Structure 1
Amino acid sequence: MNQYINKPTPAFVAASWVALLAGAAAYCIGLFNADMLLNEKGYYLILILYGLFASVSLQKIIRDKLEGTHVTHIYYGLCWASVAICIFLLAIGLFNANLALSEKGFYIMAFLLSLFGAVSVQKNIRDMEYLRQHNKIDHLELTSSTLPENKEH
């Protein structure tokens, strides 16, 4: 990989987790307290679960491409399509829902905050794992080059 990876700051890591947890919790609490039929609640729950998975998959596949890992065009397209489909289905569902405009806005914002948080958390985890692996390799190279040769007596 030709790019330099900075270690995510503790503040960014914390903000990413807060965004993910706050968005997902707000969305789920709002859904639990909503005056909807159970099948409607299930629809919105599946959308956030699918959206979180799709956004993490998209972040991973984009990062794979940047790192030079072979990525098939079909999977790359499916990841983009999945994120777009989730947002489109949420928009259609909320447009047709019998909810106040403020409630619709609440669900949209909580949904998007959750997706942003999931992408950020995934990025942080990947960056820290990359740095951990490379620091381990650098450490092994450093120690093997500085150790005296093992001579037999």
Structure 2
Amino acid sequence: MSSAKEVLFDNGRENKPEMKEERKDGEPTAAFKGASWGALIVGVTAYLIGLFNAGMQLNEKGYYFAVLVFGLYSAVSLQKAVRDKEEGIPVTGVYYGISWCALIIAISLMAIGLYNAGSIVLSEKGFYAMSFVLSIFSAITIQKNIRDTQVARERE
């Protein structure tokens, strides 16, 4: 009888045990981690390729790039602050408030910039908005995955 850590496979000649790494309780699956990283890479890459190919002036491209970087940072910072509070790790009210403010400002800057952009057609505006949202959401998910993995391994 094989243990829970062994997976037997048939290679046509004989069965050989293959060790499978066990996932800790509370740790996200490798598939979920991979999907989160994939979503971030797709979102950021699509956004940057769109900016590179856009017919905007360089200062406009810089604005949209800065908003993306600010949005990613503020989303990760907010997720960390929320998680710290939930786990009883001290978080000052000022930092917590600034984290919320920063994310709201980043999203507002993106929305206002796209609304006022006369040189961008509506389909491009939707493209930038969706790749921005995908990037923000996946950054939050990656931060959560990292934290969940860390907590699961510390319990060991």
Q: Within 5 Å, which residues of 2 pair with 1:45-60?
A: 45-60=65-80
Q: Which has the higher contact order (CA 8 A, sep 6+)?
A: 1
Q: Report the Cα offset of residue 105 of structure 1.
A: 0.4
1:115 equivalent to 2:155? Answer no
More strand by share: 2
1:126 equivalent to 2:147? Answer yes
Q: Report the Cα offset of residue 107 of structure 1.
A: 0.3
In the alignment, which residue of structure 1 is the partner of 2:46?
Answer: 26
- The 1-side partners of 2:68 and 2:83 are apart by 22
1:102 equivalent to 2:123? Answer yes
Considering only aligned residues, what root-mean-square deviation do their CA atoms show, in Å? 0.9
- The 2-side partners of 1:89 and 1:66 are apart by 29
- The 2-side partners of 1:28 and 1:48 are apart by 9
More helix by share: 1
Q: Report the Cα offset of residue 70 of structure 1.
A: 1.1
- The 2-side partners of 1:19 and 1:116 are apart by 9
Scaled by the length of structure 2, what TM-score is found? 0.82
- The 2-side partners of 1:11 and 1:37 are apart by 40
Q: Within 5 Å, which residues of 2 pair with 1:1-153?
A: 6-97=26-117, 98-135=119-156
Runs of 5+ in structure 1 lacking a partner?
136-153
- The 1-side partners of 2:98 and 2:47 are apart by 25
- The 1-side partners of 2:124 and 2:84 are apart by 37
Q: Report the Cα offset of residue 108 of structure 1.
A: 0.3
Deviations 1:32-68 (A, max 9, x none): 1100000000000000001000000000000000000
Scaled by the length of structure 1, what TM-score is found? 0.83
Q: Kindly report structure 1 stretches of 4+ aligned residues shifted beyond 6 Å.
A: none
Q: Report the Cα offset of residue 6 of structure 1.
A: 1.3
Runs of 5+ in structure 2 lacking a partner?
1-24
The worse-fitting range, judged by mean Cα deviation, of 73-82 and 125-134 is 125-134
Q: Report the Cα offset of residue 130 of structure 1.
A: 1.3
1:118 aligned partner, one-letter code: A
In the alignment, which residue of structure 2 is the partner of 1:150?
Answer: none
Q: Percent identity?
A: 56
